[in-house]
Each structure stands twice: as structure tokens, then as C-alpha cells.
Amino acid sequence: MKFLLTFVFVCAAAVLAQTPADESAAVVQAERDGCAAYLQGDAQKIASFLTDDYTLTNSKGEITTAVDDLEDAKTGRVHYDVFENYDMKVRVYGGHTAVVMGKTKIKGNAQGKPIDIIVQFTDTFVKQNDRWRLAAGHVSRLKE
């Protein structure tokens, strides 16, 4: 019985030891890892970064999905020379949902056309199997 109580106490302490700052840092790291995956065109890493039902409302108002992003990476239809998030602010809710707002510098080409833009983004993350994954995003192009 003492073992069981000790085990329960240790598990509860480990969960409670994660502070909101720790969770915020983990979400920012997930954003950075996601940017690196897109920059490298790594479909496998992109797939693990996104939820299966991920959607993005892009700067043209179109909705794209995880399937679209994976296809872009696999075919090379979209190539990034720069894909960098900055000025990020994170809000974590209940330890399993987070909203990140910031800016993204994107440079490369899409379907043979050059891209060189800065967008304001809002990303919604969910924690699945102890990992932060991107569930939804929205971007608006900023005037340069």
C-alpha cells in the first residue's frame, strides 16, 4: 500500500511540477521544430508536427489541410529558403491547448512563383500523447 501511495504522489508531483512557463517553452519549441520541418521540406516531420485534421486559413482566405502541406513537401511544389517565426506570444489553457500569435518571414517559391512575404499568424496547438501538435492556423499578410 505504501508503494502505491508513493507512486501516486510521485506521478502527481511530476504533473504539477510542469509550470505554465515550461509548457509555453515547449509550445515555442514545437513552433520552431515545425518551421525547421517546413524549411527542410521534411514531410515526415511535418506529419508529426500537424494533427491529422489540421487546417490553415491562408493569406488569400483559402483553407488548406495537412494533406495539402504534406503533398507540397513531397513533390517540392513549395520550397522555402526562409521560414522563420518571431515575436511569438504564447497562451496555454489547461495544459493541453495553446494559442500562439506572432509573425513569420517566408521566402522561397510556390508552384514556380517567388514568395517573399511577412505574415501575422495565430496558431492553435493541442497536446496529444505528451506532444504539442498544430491543429489550426490563420495567417494575414502584412504590408511591407
| Cα 111 to Cα 102: distance, rounded to the nearest angstrom | 26
Give the alpha-carbon dihedral of 138, 127, 26, 133, to 10 degrees. Answer: -40
Q: What is the pLDDT of residues 120-144, one digit of tens each?
A: 999 999 999 999 999 999 999 997 6
Tell me the CATH number of domain 20-141, given options 3.40.50.1970, 3.40.50.300, 3.40.50.2300, 3.10.450.50: 3.10.450.50
Q: Please, what's the b/e burial string for 100-124 (b: 16 or more CB within 10 A of its CB; e: otherwise)?
A: bebebebebeeeeeeeeebbebebb
Threshold 0.85, pTM exceeds:
no
SS3 10: helix
Rounded to an integer, the average pLDDT of 56-62 is 95
